């Protein structure tokens, strides 16, 4: 039973991560990392697919091994969060929603840029 719950979490996280790749308001990387974590406990087949995937496999391995994030991923995340901030400023009817979102994204950006980058 537990294995099935981990597998369900892995698949749900993967789907949310894929949706996040197309919606600037939703994160991608945390959901993909969560999918890899849950798949290790619930679906070895999905886990293998994730870590051998040409787009995000190496990023998962780097994160799990050393807690590193590639510079390209940092720039991409920063750009997507910036686009999200602008869209919230433009479309939000109240001031505190974008203020809260921008504060959270700013904190995440600072944390992200403090992460080491993979060597070589």
Q: Is the pLDDT of residue 48 over 90?
A: yes
Instruction: Identify which has the larger pLDDT, 112 or 30.
Output: 112
Q: What is the DSSP string of 53-98?
A: -TTTHHHHHHHHHH----HHHHHHHHHHHHHHHHHHHHH-SSSHHH
pLDDT of residue 7: 95
For residues 20-59, one letter each, b for 16 or more C-beta atoms within 10 angstroms of the residue's C-beta and e for the rest, the string is bbeebebbbbebbbbbbbbbbebbeebbeebbeeeebeeb
- Structural tokens at position 94: 């109240």
pTM: 0.79
Residue of 118, 4, 105, 18 lying closest to 69 (CA atoms): 118
Q: Is the pLDDT of residue 80 over 90?
A: no
pLDDT of residue 20: 84
Per-residue pLDDT band at 27 (split at 50, 70, 90): confident
Q: Is the pLDDT of residue 96 over 80?
A: yes
pLDDT of residue 29: 82
Strand, coil or helix: what is 23? coil
């Amino acid at each position: 039973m537990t294995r099935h719950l981990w597998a369900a979490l892995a698949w749900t996280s993967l789907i949310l991560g894929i949706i996040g790749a197309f919606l600037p308001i939703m994160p991608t990387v945390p959901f993909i990392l969560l999918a890899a974590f849950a798949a290790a406990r619930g679906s070895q087949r999905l886990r293998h697919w994730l870590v051998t995937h040409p787009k995000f496999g190496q990023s998962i391995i780097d994160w799990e091994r050393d807690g590193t994030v590639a510079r390209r991923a940092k720039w991409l995340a920063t750009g997507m969060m910036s686009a999200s901030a602008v869209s919230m400023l433009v479309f939000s009817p109240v001031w505190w929603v974008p203020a809260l979102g921008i504060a959270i994204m700013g904190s995440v950006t600072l944390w992200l840029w403090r992460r080491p980058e993979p060597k070589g």
